[in-house]
A and B are shown apart, each in its own frame.
Chain A
Amino acid sequence: MGEIIDINGPIVTVRLERVRNGDQVKIGRIGLVGEVIGLDGDRAVVQVYESTEGARPGEAAESLGHPLSVELGPGLMGNIFDGVQRPLPELLKISGDQIGRGIEVPSLNRETSWRFEADSSLSMGDRLTGGAVIGTVQETEIIKHHILVPPDISGEIVEHGASGEYTVDDVIARVKSDDGHIHDLRLFHRWPVRTPRPYEGRNHAAVPLITGQRVLDTFFPILKGGKGAVPGPFGAGKTMVQQQIARWANADIVIYVGCGERGNELVDILESFPELTDPHTGRSLMERTLLVANTSNMPVVAREASIYVGVTIAEYYRDQGYDVVMVADSTSRWAEALREVSGRLGQMPVEEGYPAYLASRLSAFYERAGRVETLRGNLGSVTLIGAVSPPGGDFSEPVTSHTKEIVPTFWALSKELADARHYPAVDWLDSFSGYVDTAAHWWSREVDPTWAARRAQALAVLSQADDLSRIVNLVGPEALSPTQRWVLEGAALIKEGVLQQSAIDEVDSYASPRKQFLLLDIALCIYDEGHKLIELGVPVEQISRLPSMARFRRLKSVYTSEQADDIDAFNRQVKKDIDELRVEYGAPREAEA
């Protein structure tokens, strides 16, 4: 037993012997929990996950003897946890609308019983190593939960239970390790959140993660197991991008971490996801989703912990062989929590008050993404996508600039686009993806061999148009040749008909890869044909006025992904319109030419 010496906001100094850095500590009459972040003789500096109001010097402090860990087992899916994995619905029952302090609740429900199907190939005396599967539990209709031997345990089976109903606490098997120690295996195990879970090796044969968002998938793709960031000023659409990914991505599991953001955004998911069906499985989205919520008004230290809690759970499902996507909104709030703690510790700030270790912490976090061969030999992946909230929308600030160095996919959101309600407000010049070549293989194989060329052409038109607009803004549109004016029209067509995609448009909220490609292809067909017409002397205005031009802009909201054939049929209509103009200007019909 030790005692509290000093209380400075969430940072409490205690006198406590034999405690290790990282260990959890319980302090005071209220029973607040925190973790040791510094040691000096018999004094330990503790960051506390809950508000320290009302705590007094002299009150007791005790070490819990282990670092912050999560409980990994059935009951995670569909649940919502706080930043240190306390189940929020349970807290609601215990302390009402407002979160009480010093409440101990197990992360996984101890009463629920699960149907465990033992792996029938296992028998007494078999050798099990960490990560091996001892059986399964159908966690939700679509998620089969593989019960794993904890990564740090291996040995010989000395006892194993039959299939049947078990609670997470029941022992279902025992293994004897080489040192003779007998380990009880349950439906769940614990793992410290700041230690990445081990795997056999990295695997590089990756495929794109399909999010159903054209500007992401077609222009700046991310891979399963990849790392991406969504920076942008307030209101630019970071949360919407992440929610769209959570909704539509072709991942097996989605972990949504609300880190220092709004309570209502989590409620939005909690209320809407159970009603939405996953386009890939036809089941309710909530069956594959897990939420970690440390909203902006919840204590700042637990915010720092929340993304580690999220990523550890992500790794756990990866280890079962799933493709997991974790979105973190927002990594800036996590970095600010780091800053707050380091500031209270009197550590030397380097830039904008952030500690020197900001960059290394950030990259260590993103390093937990990846597609891996698991300990049991199958493949799984964790894709990490973090929102970044730069103060004043300034991308040169520390968190944005460090993140930019780390992630291969960078979806830069622009205030100008958002102000014009061009959503998703992904800026085509500032954004980038280092995964285009890998994605191109997939697109070429699965959708169309010209994908990479079409994508590159569209980006070229957009950037050419940006240059031309600058000229127009200096000297007016008269300075442009008809061909140049057509470039502007072509870019407008791509922006309105392809890039813009409203999350609240039921028809267009999700676009299949085929729909994505067809829209892009039509925009570019019109663009290419237009150039030919202009050479024949057709005025730009006349082409722009073709009814099919206006219809194309609305096409995305008319046909769903299932109606891709109708989109293709529209292509023929456009060709006919253009052909008529061509004939009018004295050229032979396309067919005759």
Chain B
Amino acid sequence: MREKEFRMAAAARGALLYMKGVRGVALGDRVVVRDQSGRRRSGQVIRTSNEVVLVQVFEGTEGLDLDQTWAGFLEKPFELSLSPEILGRVFSGTGAPRDDRPPIISTLKRNVNGAPVNPAARTYPKEFIQTGISTIDGLNSLVRGQKLPIFSGSGLPHNRLAAQIVRQAKLLSQEADFSVVFAAMGVSYTDARFFEEEFESSGVLRNVVMFINLADDPPMERLLLPRAALTAAEYLAYELDQHVLVVLTDMTNYAEALREVATAKGDVPARKGYPGYLYSDLAELYERAGRIHERHGSITMMPVLSMPSDDITHPIPDLTGYITEGQIVLSRELQSQGIYPPVNVPPSLSRLMKDGIGADFTREDHPRVAAQLYAAYARSLEARNLASIIGAEELSERDRRYLEFAEGFEKRFVGQGEDEDRSIIETLEIAWELLSGLPPEALNRVTEEDLQKYHQWGRARDPEETATAGDAGVNGD
């Protein structure tokens, strides 16, 4: 390895350093920048010609005296040293230890950028993971190897939800060979600490690798951090055969760091100042989740992001939704009604659910029950809307039932305890209990057999309701 130091800094702007007269530098190479005081910063070559080399400096260029700035070109890209020892450790975005323990020494080093997985090498993810959370298991099931983000907002309990999923996911607790890669970008100390304590109290800490960049750490490091974290995840999954759950939080801070560099470089913005390549850049990260032929491990990914002004059409959630395999959306409204977890059901989706549920994985009626709950809840929200205009008393018998359904659905199905770990069968039972408050002929997403087997019409909980139902003289089955 040749390491030459150059002192030809021509200009510095934001996180960018322009070096002159350094010839033959490779794109993507790692750079160590040393300033007048001897302080070292890390950087990476993002554009190169024999005249000018553009270096992105992760700690920023503030305070650099250009005349006394040296840049060492390391002749290699950013790499992460890998060994089983990474488990239980805490690293920074550049892969340096953050836990006062020695760096990982290993001959195995990987370029953190990875390389695109050959689609022909992938296996379609199908194995149901029970998270114990009804809105996920019942309506938006997670499968091993899926990328399923949580769309949240400031003040919403996305961290608690993510932690509950990590705790309860059966993928994790029943198998010895699991691990968690936790990547925090620009989060507060309190949030980082919360996760650490969670991992500690649930006894998984020794199976966790953490990559931490706090709110007051250099923002540019956030660009490298998820890449380092995913490199660790790939190593654990494909070389140590582990089922890895990767939590990336908060992707909004990542995207903002990207926008900052893009603006400094003068890249043409697409929407809201974010560069046109934000989609491809995010995809490079998210697509590292999945399953690969003949590999025993898997990478399941749960990115967490806060939607600026709760706007789901904002480029960050929008482009994420275009890449991930669904999304769990949190709602401020449910939160204010004290419902935990405040999952906003209509916009939430799991695309890999269809192949991971049903008779072979959960229960045969599951796909239809999920569709029915969605349809009934959509109809209930219309009834609720109508009630707000004309008053609940004016509603028709049918609409009143829908109104009740909405209440029950939010309180009993969506809402659950933070320690409540529901089996999928329990989730489906609650679902049928709620659907039993609606007349069978209103339920056309389920089959007649489902109705016969699970629907309790006429045997409803409240005797008075039974009477009205009888009066209505409805019989669809």
CB distance from A109 to the nearest CB of B (A): 15
Q: Contacts A55-B27, A262-B325 known; A477 to B396 CB distance under 8 Å?
A: yes
Residues of A within 8 A of B361 (CB): none
CB distance from A172 to the nearest CB of B (A): 30
B454-477 residues at the A interface, CB under 8 angstroms: 472-476
Report the interface size for chain B: residues with CB under 8 A from the other chain: 85
Cβ 8 A contact of A477, one of B77, B346, B371, B386: B386
CB distance from A75 to the nearest CB of B (A): 16
Interface membership of A547, Cβ < 8 A: yes
CB distance from A482 to the nearest CB of B (A): 13
In contact, A550 and B444 (Cβ under 8 angstroms): yes
CB distance from B364 to the nearest CB of A (A): 13
B2-57 residues at the A interface, CB under 8 angstroms: 23-29, 47-50
Give 15 new A-B contacts, CB below 8 A, not counting A5-B50, A53-B26. Answer: A53-B111, A57-B48, A89-B120, A91-B120, A97-B117, A98-B117, A235-B351, A262-B287, A336-B280, A353-B269, A391-B270, A391-B271, A477-B396, A545-B472, A551-B476
Interface of A is mostly: mixed
Interface membership of A60, Cβ < 8 A: no
Docked CA distance A394–B29 (Å) = 39
Range for the number of chain A residues in contact with chain B? 35 or more
In contact, B476 and A547 (Cβ under 8 angstroms): yes
In contact, A99 and B116 (Cβ under 8 angstroms): yes
Cβ 8 A contact of B287, one of A234, A296, A420: A296
Docked CA distance A553–B153 (Å) = 39
Interface membership of A80, Cβ < 8 A: yes
Residues of A within 8 A of B323 (CB): 262, 296
In contact, A545 and B119 (Cβ under 8 angstroms): no
CB distance from A22 to the nearest CB of B (A): 24
**Most B-side CB within 10 Å, residue of A97, A268, A477:** A97
Interface membership of B138, Cβ < 8 A: no
Interface membership of A453, Cβ < 8 A: no
Residues of A within 8 A of B375 (CB): 420-422
The 6 lowest CB-CB distance pairs between A and B, nearest first, are A392-B313, A296-B283, A420-B378, A476-B390, A550-B441, A297-B287
Interface membership of B103, Cβ < 8 A: no
Write the A242-263 contact mask toward B (1 if CB under 8 angstroms, else 0): 0000000000000000101011
A342-377 residues at the B interface, CB under 8 angstroms: 343, 349, 352-353
Interface membership of A549, Cβ < 8 A: yes
Docked CA distance A98–B283 (Å) = 15
A1-52 residues at the B interface, CB under 8 angstroms: 5-9, 13, 51-52
Residues of A within 8 A of B367 (CB): 504
Cβ 8 A contact of B48, one of A6, A101, A267, A353: A6
CB distance from B288 to the nearest CB of A (A): 8
**Most A-side CB within 10 Å, residue of B113, B116, B386, B472:** B116
A contact set with B: CB distance below 8 Å: 5-9, 13, 51-58, 80, 88-89, 91-92, 95-101, 233-235, 258, 260, 262-264, 266-268, 270-271, 293, 295-300, 333, 336, 339-340, 343, 349, 352-353, 389, 391-394, 415, 419-422, 472-478, 496, 502, 504, 545, 547, 549-551, 553-554, 557
In contact, A263 and B290 (Cβ under 8 angstroms): yes
Docked CA distance A262–B50 (Å) = 37
In contact, B113 and A547 (Cβ under 8 angstroms): no
Q: Contacts A234-B318, A297-B284, A554-B447 known; A264 to B394 CB distance under 8 Å?
A: no
Docked CA distance A477–B383 (Å) = 11
Write the B351-383 contact mask toward A (1 if CB under 8 angstroms, else 0): 110110000000000010001001100110000
Closest residue of B by beta carbon distance from A8: B47
In contact, A333 and B279 (Cβ under 8 angstroms): yes
Docked CA distance A472–B394 (Å) = 12
Closest residue of A by beta carbon distance from B271: A391
Docked CA distance A300–B122 (Å) = 20
Residues of B within 8 A of A550 (CB): 440-441, 444, 476
Residues of B within 8 A of A8 (CB): 47
Interface membership of B452, Cβ < 8 A: no
In contact, B378 and A57 (Cβ under 8 angstroms): no
Docked CA distance A435–B268 (Å) = 39
**Most B-side CB within 10 Å, residue of A55, A80, A296, A349:** A296
Residues of A within 8 A of B321 (CB): 233-235
**Most B-side CB within 10 Å, residue of A98, A297, A299, A478:** A297
Cβ 8 A contact of B290, one of A91, A101, A264: A264
Docked CA distance A80–B120 (Å) = 8
In contact, A52 and B27 (Cβ under 8 angstroms): yes
Closest residue of B by beta carbon distance from A339: B276
Closest residue of A by beta carbon distance from B312: A392
In contact, B124 and A271 (Cβ under 8 angstroms): yes
Residues of B within 8 A of A258 (CB): 119
Cβ 8 A contact of A297, one of B283, B385, B447: B283
Docked CA distance A268–B375 (Å) = 26
Interface membership of B154, Cβ < 8 A: no
Residues of B within 8 A of A99 (CB): 115-118
In contact, B24 and A58 (Cβ under 8 angstroms): yes
CB distance from A206 to the nearest CB of B (A): 33
In contact, B389 and A473 (Cβ under 8 angstroms): yes
Interface membership of B432, Cβ < 8 A: no
Residues of A within 8 A of B116 (CB): 98-99, 295, 297-299
Docked CA distance A392–B378 (Å) = 22
Residues of A within 8 A of B123 (CB): 267, 271
A-B contact pairs, 29 of them (CB 8 A): A7-B49, A51-B113, A54-B77, A56-B25, A58-B50, A97-B117, A97-B293, A98-B115, A98-B121, A100-B115, A263-B287, A264-B125, A267-B123, A295-B283, A300-B277, A300-B280, A336-B276, A336-B280, A340-B276, A353-B269, A391-B271, A392-B315, A420-B374, A420-B378, A421-B375, A476-B389, A545-B474, A547-B476, A549-B441
Cβ 8 A contact of A88, one of B27, B49, B118, B351: B118
In contact, A53 and B25 (Cβ under 8 angstroms): no
In contact, A57 and B23 (Cβ under 8 angstroms): yes
Docked CA distance A263–B476 (Å) = 44
Docked CA distance A392–B271 (Å) = 10
Interface membership of B114, Cβ < 8 A: yes
Docked CA distance A393–B448 (Å) = 37
**Most A-side CB within 10 Å, residue of B50, B118, B238:** B118
CB distance from A340 to the nearest CB of B (A): 5
Closest residue of A by beta carbon distance from B270: A353
Residues of B within 8 A of A57 (CB): 23-25, 48-50
Residues of B within 8 A of A415 (CB): 347
In contact, B118 and A97 (Cβ under 8 angstroms): yes
Residues of B within 8 A of A557 (CB): 447
In contact, A55 and B26 (Cβ under 8 angstroms): yes
In contact, A502 and B389 (Cβ under 8 angstroms): no
CB distance from A41 to the nearest CB of B (A): 16
Docked CA distance A415–B378 (Å) = 12
In contact, A270 and B120 (Cβ under 8 angstroms): yes
CB distance from A299 to the nearest CB of B (A): 8
Docked CA distance A548–B475 (Å) = 11
